[in-house]
Structures are given as structure tokens and as C-alpha cells.
């Protein structure tokens, strides 16, 4: 009975309290509605201020502690130098993908098919993007199958002189076994200048022939000469190969006005192999002993380029009947082509290669924008030189620093809490050290390539040069037509008090030894960050302990600020206005 009375009192009290709660709840709901309305009005009135605060808060994620945590792992000995096809690179790739996932960056690599439940028959596989873009490369080196011959035919006689690989000639530019027997054409310096209407190929037919050409261009060794001032080529090596291929040449022999009498390696000298940390009487294995190309469905467009010893050059010069000094002076003073065919001379070349096929991976993440069909790419290569002769080339600055820069910008952009107008792809490229292969593969295979609006690239952003005693200099190369990129960077440096003394270089089509090259060649605007070259470049001594964290953080912050604005702007406003007459 007592228990029943207690239950009855509890029921009465509960009903009374419930009625009170109802009125309290009604009052609370009205207050809550008023607060929401006031909040909306506040946000509408102060939207710009709120957005500014989100950028400032996001920048706080780019700090020394965060940078150290990421780079200490990427450039640790466990990564074994991150050579693109090695276990260390695959571990580094997994780490980058995991960090993207932690930061809330969506995958945008290859589509992978998985079954939702293992062992379930009749279930359709799920198609989901991964963080990896997989592709193959071919590594190759010259085999022992090599020969080079000068073949002369005069007065019914045939004279063949054969020379040895590594003693009288070296060869590059082939990726499969090659055999050539072809006539020879002399093309002077082998250059073209449309603006000057000058071409060493204009009056000779080089199709199916081997060309002899001197290094450089008219006046290149005399900076006071008129020819030097008129020509003054940049990236001349690539341009020369392009011109020779367009003209139809099938091989090149490089001549020099200053032949190297010490060409080749003598066999009897003790400790003849010296390179910084290594001194040996046997040839140490080196990273660049093997070249690499993409495993495409066709061979790359390149030429066999033959470099020769002084005695082999003198043999050719005698046949050519050219005085080298007079040739150089006449070319500098007159700027007239002296190209001609060389009758009665053929060159025979047989060259073999040894090849291996390797699988490698780019790492790709994404923040999807309001516009799903316009893309900005923020990239850096994460591979380095690997492990050779017991030395680990950790590549802390080259390019662990740039890779951390990409991850840090991804994190900061996500931390703004704002969906960008353009979709932003974050890319960690592989096989850059083997010839910019990762970024090349991406650009060639990106379905929406024509919709890539911008590429921002980081490469070596964590150190200073020996001459930079203050430690705040860095370089930004950008597409010259988009001069607003320079103005934007200058504004952010000043507005946010970044300790950076930036050298800006605008180029028509920026090109060089980093991953923005493939984008620039497709006329995609680029912004490229690099802090400095230093003595530890491509040495085992490129270690985390030497990183300048404040400088690295400021460069990454500048990259973040630029991308945050560019991803939400019409890029046309940063382009130089052109006028038509």
C-alpha cells in the first residue's frame, strides 16, 4: 500500500512538472527562434568579417609543429630516399594519402572496384575513386652492344673506322635497341630564329640523316657581340632537339669549339671514381646510371645524341674541312647559315639497351568546388633519389618540403569551412627525378585537361642559398601573361607580414626542371615556388635538421593565400589586357 501511494504521488508530480515544462519549452523555443534570426542577420551584416576570420584561423594550421611532424616522417631513413618505384616511395605515398584522409580531402585517383562483403556471390562491385593514380615506367641503361663507325666512299674504295663506346663516344636519347646507317649533313649550330628569319635547316635536306652541329649559337661565348644580343636563347637544349626532329633528322653528333681531350674514363688510375662522399676504385652505382620514360603506347620523340672525343671530332673536322676558330668568328659576325651536305660520308651506329618495367603512383586528393568542371592543381613531387652505395638520399628539402606544402595547403583550405568556387586537386607527383614523368602522365591522361585553370607548384621551399644571409629570399616563376599573380603575391606578403623577399620571374611559357612544365606546355597558367639551390642538393646531406621552418611556413602561407583567392575568382582579371589594332 505504501508503495502504491508513493507511485501515485510520483504520477501527480510528473503531470504537474510536465505542464510547467510545456510552458518553459514554449518560451525556450521562442527565445531560440529569436537567437537564430539575430545570428542570421549578424552573419549577413558581417559576412566578410567572418570569412576573413576563417582564413586567419586556417592559417594557424600552417605552423612549425605541424610541418616538422609531417616532414620528419617523409624524410626519415625508413622511407629510404623515396625513389619512385621502391618500397620507400610506396610507404610515402600511403602516408600522404592517409593525411589527405585525415584532413577530409576526398580521393580523386583511379577508380577501384571492390565488393561490399567479401565472399558474397552475385553482389555487384562498388566503383570508388582511390587516392592513387597508377602507371608504369621503363628504366633502361646502355648495354655492352655498342659500335660507332665512320664510313667513307672515295674513288671506288670503302673505308670503315670503328670507335669504342666510353672511349671515343657516349650516347643518349634512345630507349630501345637502335641501328642506323645514314648520310651526314653539317648544320652549323643547328638553330632557328623566326624573328630574325634565320634557319640552319633552310637550304639543306636533313630528313633521314645524321646532323653535325656545334654547341651553343652564334656569339654565345661573347656577350658583347651583336649576335649574342639578338639571339640569347633560353632552354636552348630542348629547342635544338625540337628543331632537329621537326626537320626530320634521325641522329645528332655534337661538336664543340673546345674539344675535351680527357674524354672517357682511364682504367688504370686508383680511386678514379670520386663524387663528394664517395671515393672508390670501382664504379659506384648512381641514380642516373639508368634513364626512365613513361611506358606509353609509342616511343618518345627523341634523337640519338652522340658526344665525341677530341680525336673523333678532329677526324670529322678534317672530313668537313672546317677551321673551328674561323667558323665561330664568321658565325658571330655575319649571322649567316653555312649548312651543307657532306658527300661520301656515312655513319653507322648500333646501340643496345637493357630495360625493366616498374609500377609507380601519383597521389591525388580533391576538394570539390561549386563548379565541378573547373580545376586548380596544387602539386609537388614526393619522390627523391633513393638509396645508393649504402647512402640514403633523404631529400628533406628536395622535395619533402614541397610535399608537406601541398598537404598543409589542403588542410588549411579545408579548415576555412568554405566550399571553393573551383575544384582543387592536390597532387603528390612521383618520378619527377626521372624526368618529370608523374606530372606528364597526369596532364596527358586528365580527361578535363582543357579545364585546368591553374597549376601551383612547390619544389624545394625549405632552405636558403649560401648568399642569402638573412634567409628570406625565394623565387616565384609565373606565366607572364598573368601579371596579376605577381600583384596578388605582393599584396599577401605585405598584408600578412610574411618575411619573404621574393624574386618574380614572368615567362611566356615557363619551363625547367620541375613539374609545372607539362602544364605550361599545354598553356595552363602556372605559379612556381622555389626557395633556393644549396650545396646539399641531390646529396645525402639534404636532411630535416637543416630545414628553415619559419621560411618554409611563410612560403606555404603565401601559396595558401594565393590559392584561396584564385579558387574563388575569375582568373581573367589577373591576365594582362591585350589590345588589337
| Span 315-369, pLDDT tens digits | 999 999 999 999 999 999 999 999 999 999 999 999 999 999 999 999 999 999 9
Comparison of pLDDT for 495 and 32, the residue scoring more: 495
The set of cell numbers assigned to 347 is 655513319
Positive or negative, the CA dihedral 414, 532, 363, 300 is: positive
d(CA 451, CA 125): 31
The pLDDT value given to residue 120: 61
- The pLDDT confidence band at residue 276, using thresholds 50, 70 and 90, is low
CB 548 within 8 A of CB 483: no
The set of cell numbers assigned to 440 is 606528364
d(CA 376, CA 457): 11
Comparison of pLDDT for 20 and 111, the residue scoring more: 111
d(CA 184, CA 213): 11
- What the chain holds in terms of domains, given with CATH numbers, is 74-104+368-570 (3.40.630.10), 140-355 (3.50.30.30)
Give me the mean pLDDT over the 222-230 stretch.
91
| Mean pLDDT (the chain, rounded) | 88
d(CA 274, CA 271): 7
d(CA 171, CA 178): 11
pLDDT exceeds cutoff 90 at 60: yes
Which range (19-28, 242-251, 396-405) has the least confidence?
19-28
Give me the mean pLDDT over the 552-577 stretch.
95
Beta strands in 368-451 (DSSP E): 371-381, 386-388, 391-393, 422-429
**Helices and strands, number each (H, E), in the chain:** 13, 24
* Apex 521 CA angle, 515 and 526, nearest 5: 60
Cα end-to-end span (Å), the chain: 106
pLDDT exceeds cutoff 70 at 35: no
- The pLDDT confidence band at residue 280, using thresholds 50, 70 and 90, is confident
Comparison of pLDDT for 517 and 119, the residue scoring more: 517
How would you class 310 by CB atoms within 10 Å of its CB: exposed for 0-12, middle for 13-18, buried for 19 or more? middle
The set of cell numbers assigned to 78 is 625508413
- The pLDDT confidence band at residue 577, using thresholds 50, 70 and 90, is low
d(CA 532, CA 501): 12
d(CA 233, CA 509): 14
Short-list 393, 404, 537, 383, CA closest to 458 = 404
The pLDDT value given to residue 118: 59
Which range (111-115, 268-272, 440-444) has the least confidence?
268-272
Please state the three-class secondary structure of 204-267 as a single string: CCCCCCEEEEECCCCCCCCCCCHHHHHCCCCCHHHHHHHHHHHHCCCEEEEECCCCCCCCCCCC
- The pLDDT confidence band at residue 479, using thresholds 50, 70 and 90, is very high
The pLDDT value given to residue 450: 67
- The pLDDT confidence band at residue 382, using thresholds 50, 70 and 90, is very high
pLDDT exceeds cutoff 80 at 433: yes
DSSP string computed for 323-363: -HHHHHHHHHHH-----EEEEEEEEEEEEEEEEEEEEEEEE
CB 554 within 8 A of CB 495: no
Q: Determine which helix (DSSP H) or strand (DSSP E) holds 529, and give its type and residue range.
A: strand 526-530
pLDDT exceeds cutoff 70 at 4: no
Report percent pLDDT > 90 for the chain: 73
Interhelix angle for 47-59 vs 402-415, to 10°? 150
Please state the three-class secondary structure of 463-500 as a single string: CCCCCCCCCCEEEEEEECCCCHHHHHHHHHHHHCCCCC
Which range (42-46, 171-175, 440-444, 520-524) has the least confidence?
42-46
Comparison of pLDDT for 270 and 183, the residue scoring more: 183
The pLDDT value given to residue 20: 42
Comparison of pLDDT for 144 and 52, the residue scoring more: 144
Rg, C-alpha atoms of the chain: 31
d(CA 3, CA 13): 15
CB 251 within 8 A of CB 304: yes
Q: Which residues contact 350 (CB under 8 A, 6 or more apart)?
A: 145, 146, 147, 178, 179, 180
Short-list 139, 140, 134, CA closest to 359 = 134
pTM of structure: 0.83
Which range (7-16, 105-114, 569-578) has the least confidence?
7-16
- The four Cα atoms 557, 559, 564, 568 give a dihedral, to 10 degrees, of 160
CB 407 within 8 A of CB 103: yes
Short-list 381, 378, 405, CA closest to 462 = 405
The pLDDT value given to residue 36: 38
The pLDDT value given to residue 259: 75
The pLDDT value given to residue 493: 98
d(CA 330, CA 321): 15
Give me the mean pLDDT over the 50-73 stretch.
88
How would you class 470 by CB atoms within 10 Å of its CB: exposed for 0-12, middle for 13-18, buried for 19 or more? exposed
DSSP string computed for 34-50: HHHHHHHHHHHHTHHHH
The pLDDT value given to residue 195: 87
Short-list 207, 220, 165, 212, CA closest to 188 = 212
The pLDDT value given to residue 258: 80
The pLDDT value given to residue 80: 97
The pLDDT value given to residue 524: 96
Q: Which of 165-179, 286-300, 329-343, 419-433 is predicted most confidently?
A: 419-433
Pairing, β 132-154 against β 157-163: antiparallel
Amino acid at each position: 500500500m505504501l508503495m502504491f501511494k508513493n507511485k501515485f504521488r510520483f504520477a501527480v508530480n510528473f503531470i504537474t512538472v510536465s505542464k510547467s515544462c510545456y510552458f518553459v519549452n514554449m518560451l525556450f523555443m521562442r527565445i531560440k527562434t529569436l537567437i537564430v534570426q539575430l545570428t542570421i542577420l549578424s552573419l549577413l551584416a558581417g559576412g566578410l568579417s567572418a570569412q576573413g576570420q576563417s582564413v586567419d584561423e586556417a592559417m594557424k594550421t600552417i605552423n612549425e609543429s605541424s610541418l616538422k611532424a609531417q616532414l620528419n616522417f617523409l624524410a626519415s631513413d625508413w622511407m629510404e630516399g623515396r625513389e619512385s618505384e621502391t618500397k620507400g616511395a610506396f610507404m610515402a605515398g600511403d602516408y600522404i594519402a592517409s593525411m589527405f584522409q585525415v584532413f577530409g580531402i576526398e580521393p580523386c585517383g583511379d577508380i577501384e572496384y571492390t565488393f561490399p562483403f567479401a565472399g558474397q556471390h552475385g553482389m555487384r562491385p562498388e566503383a570508388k575513386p582511390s587516392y592513387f593514380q597508377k602507371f608504369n615506367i621503363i628504366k633502361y641503361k646502355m648495354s655492352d652492344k655498342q659500335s660507332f663507325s665512320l664510313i667513307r666512299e672515295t674513288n671506288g674504295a670503302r673505308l670503315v673506322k670503328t670507335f669504342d663506346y666510353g672511349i671515343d663516344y657516349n650516347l643518349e636519347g634512345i630507349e630501345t635497341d637502335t641501328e642506323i646507317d645514314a648520310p651526314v649533313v653539317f648544320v652549323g649550330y643547328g638553330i632557328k630564329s623566326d624573328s630574325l628569319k634565320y634557319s640552319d635547316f633552310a637550304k639543306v635536306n636533313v630528313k633521314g640523316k645524321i646532323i653535325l652541329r656545334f654547341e651553343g649559337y652564334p656569339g654565345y661565348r661573347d656577350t658583347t657581340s651583336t649576335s649574342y644580343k639578338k639571339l640569347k636563347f633560353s632552354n636552348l637544349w630542348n629547342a635544338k632537339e625540337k628543331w632537329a626532329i621537326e626537320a626530320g633528322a634521325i641522329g645528332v653528333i655534337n661538336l664543340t669549339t673546345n674539344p675535351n681531350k680527357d674524354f672517357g674514363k682511364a682504367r688504370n688510375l686508383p680511386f678514379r671514381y670520386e663524387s663528394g662522399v664517395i671515393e672508390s676504385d670501382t664504379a659506384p652505382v648512381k641514380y642516373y646510371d639508368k634513364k626512365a620514360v613513361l611506358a606509353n603506347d609509342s616511343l618518345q620523340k627523341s634523337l640519338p645524341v652522340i658526344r665525341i672525343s677530341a680525336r673523333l671530332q678532329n677526324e670529322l673536322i678534317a672530313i668537313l674541312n672546317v677551321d673551328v676558330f674561323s667558323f665561330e668568328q664568321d658565325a658571330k659576325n655575319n649571322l649567316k647559315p653555312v649548312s651543307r651536305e657532306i658527300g661520301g660520308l656515312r655513319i653507322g651506329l648500333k646501340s643496345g639497351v637493357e630495360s625493366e618495367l616498374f609500377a609507380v603512383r601519383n597521389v591525388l586528393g580533391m576538394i570539390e568546388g561549386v563548379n565541378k568542371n573547373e580545376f586548380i592543381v596544387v602539386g609537388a613531387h614526393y619522390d627523391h633519389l633513393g638509396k645508393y652505395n649504402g647512402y640514403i638520399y633523404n631529400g628533406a628539402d628536395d622535395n619533402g618540403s614541397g610535399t608537406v606544402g601541398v598537404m598543409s595547403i589542403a588542410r588549411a583550405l579545408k579548415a576555412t569551412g568554405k566550399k571553393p568556387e573551383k575544384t582543387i586537386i592536390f597532387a603528390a607527383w612521383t618520378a619527377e627525378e626521372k624526368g618529370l614523368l608523374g606530372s606528364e602522365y597526369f596532364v596527358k591522361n586528365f580527361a578535363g585537361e582543357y579545364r585546368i585553370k591553374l597549376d601551383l607548384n612547390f619544389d624545394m621551399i625549405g632552405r636558403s642559398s649560401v648568399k642569402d644571409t638573412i634567409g628570406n629570399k625565394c623565387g616565384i616563376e609565373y606565366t607572364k601573361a598573368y601579371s596579376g599573380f605577381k600583384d596578388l603575391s605582393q599584396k599577401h606578403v605585405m598584408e600578412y607580414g610574411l618575411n619573404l623577399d621574393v624574386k618574380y620571374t614572368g615567362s611566356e611559357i615557363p619551363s625547367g626542371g620541375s613539374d609545372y612544365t607539362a602544364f605550361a606546355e599545354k598553356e595552363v597558367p602556372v605559379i612556381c615556388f622555389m626557395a633556393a639551390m644549396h650545396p646539399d642538393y641531390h646529396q645525402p646531406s639534404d636532411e630535416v635538421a637543416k630545414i628553415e621552418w619559419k621560411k618554409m611556413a611563410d612560403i606555404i602561407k603565401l601559396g595558401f593565400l594565393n590559392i584561396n583567392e584564385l579558387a574563388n575568382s575569375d582568373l581573367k582579371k589577373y591576365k594582362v589586357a591585350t589590345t588589337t589594332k
